[in-house]
Structures are given as C-alpha cells and as structure tokens.
Amino acid sequence: MPTNPRPASSVLLLEDDAELREDVLLPGLADYGFSVVGVDTAAALYDMLRNQGFDAVVLDVGLPDADGFSVAQAVRAMVPGIGIVMLTGQGNVADQVRGLNQGADAYLVKPAQVEVLAATLHSVLRRLRGSEKPKLDPRWQIDTGQWCLVSPQGRSVPLTKTEQRLITRLAGTLGQLVTRDELVLAVADNVHEFDPHRIEMVIHRLRRKVLSRCGEALPLVAVHGQGYVLHDEPQPDA
C-alpha cells in the first residue's frame, strides 16, 4: 500500500465560542491530522496571517468584532491562495451565496460534524492545489500528510489519529497477519488503559466509513481469534 508523504496542512480557526473552539473544533481537526491554531477575534486572525503561513482558514460568520463575510473578503485579499471555509448558524441560501461570492470556498451550517469539516478542508485544499487530484491506481494508498486513505478510484477517506495509526501499522506488514495485541500497541497512548475490544470497534467504524465514502470495501481480512491482514487490492473476503 503506497504512501504519499507530505507535511500536515495548517489551519487557522476563528471561532468566538470558547467551548466549541477549544473542546470540539481544535481537538477534532487535530485528530484528523491538521496542524491547527485557534483565535477568537478577527483582529487576532489578521495578526496571525501577517506573521504565519496557513493553508486554510475556518471562520464563523457571527463574530464579536467584525462581520464574518467582510473577514472572508479581507482574508482573500491578504492571502489570495488560501482556502476559506465559513461556519454559520444561519442556513438560508442567501447567506450561503453571499459567503461564496465574498471569498469563501465552502460554507457549512453549524453544528457541522468535525468529520464533515475535515473532509471539506481536504476537498478545498485539493482543489486549490490543482495538480494534486489523485491518480487512479489499482491499489489502495495512504496519503500520510493529509491523513487520508485513497481508494483505487481516487476517492479519499479522512482518517482520525487512531485510524491512521491502525492503517499505518497494518500497511507496514502488508499481506501479513497483525495480531490484536500488536494493533493495541500501535494505536494506544497508554496500553494499560486501552480496552482491546476498541480495536474491533475502530475497524468496524472504519470499514463502514470507507464503504460509505468509496462505494467499495476496504481490503482488510479478519483472521478469527488472531488479528487482521491488510491488502492493497480488493479481496473476496474483505
């Protein structure tokens, strides 16, 4: 299973709701492999953009010190090639059109699931990079920089930190059995506090997510009572 290594994408998040920012969005995006920094005002966002480079900005429409639509316009003027994803509690079409017309690449209505936000960011960044559309390959691939699994048809599945560790361990011995204990060692930050049965839950969720997003099964074969074998091509028993 080939890998496509590159640095993690950097994201600047503007959200004035401290609980949503600190407890949900920042750790959630980090769990999907993004290097993410959070701020709570437009002034802080502008300051960060002047001093650091970012691949994308996620910003809320409702802000204490500025109008989110104006912020999107200003960000686009400051950094023309940056990706911009807007979040809002207002789902009316007029606001969506306004946001897109004023510089946003995508517009999501809150509460947006972190998985959807991560997938949207990946999609926006692929479009902006232009030439990075995945080439069709008969094998499954891992995009390590983007923390995505790429199907033979070029469809990508964003991976959480646990899923990325699991797939990377399995791909390290492609076509060979990896025991449950070995997978626990690969994914757990603390093996003594990790429930081994979580491995089955992670694999079940990953298989379901891959099938939903790609329309084809992940070539991961369970060996009863022992562990799992990952292949990079479709398997009849996957």
pLDDT in tens, 80-104: 889 999 988 776 677 777 777 777 8
**Residue 4, in any domain of the structure:** no
Residue 11: its pLDDT value, please?
96
Is the domain of 168 the same as that of 148?
yes
Domain boundary among 129, 151, 166: 129
Residue 112 belongs to a domain with what CATH number?
Answer: 3.40.50.2300
- DSSP one-letter string for 87-115: EES---HHHHHHHHHTT-SEEEESSPPHH
Co-location of 16 and 120 in the same domain: yes
Report CA Rg, the chain: 19
Tally of domains in the chain: 2
Domain that holds residue 152: 141-230
- Report whether pLDDT(185) > 90: yes
Contact 37, 11 (CB under 8 A): yes
Q: Is residue 122 part of a domain?
A: yes
Beta strands in 92-233 (DSSP E): 106-109, 141-143, 148-150, 156-158, 177-179, 220-223, 227-230
**% of the chain residues with pLDDT over 70:** 90
Answer with the residue of higher pLDDT: 6 or 96: 96
Q: Within a domain: residue 46?
A: yes
Cα 118 to the center of its chain, rounded Å: 4
Query: Which of 129, 162, 184 finishes a domain?
Result: 129
Q: Are residues 215 and 110 in the same domain?
A: no
Query: What CATH number does the domain containing 221 carry?
Result: 1.10.10.10
Q: Name residues whose C-beta falls within 8 Å of residue 193's C-beta, 6 or more positions apart in sequence.
A: none
Q: Is residue 238 part of a domain?
A: no
Short-list 165, 114, 115, CA closest to 142: 165
**pLDDT tens, residue by residue, 39-72:** 999 999 999 999 999 999 999 888 888 888 889 9
Length of the chain: 238
Question: Residue 177: beta bridge partners?
Answer: 229
For residues 134, 136, 139, 142, the Cα torsion angle rounded to the nearest 10 degrees is 0
Give the three-class secondary structure for 230. Answer: strand
**Closest by Cα among 30, 33, 36, 91 to 58:** 36
Q: Are residues 15 and 104 in the same domain?
A: yes
What is d(CA 101, CA 119) in angstroms, rounded to the nearest whole number? 22
Q: Say whether both 96 and 35 belong to one domain.
A: yes
101-140 pLDDT, tens digit per residue, is 777 899 888 888 899 999 999 889 888 877 455 556 678 8
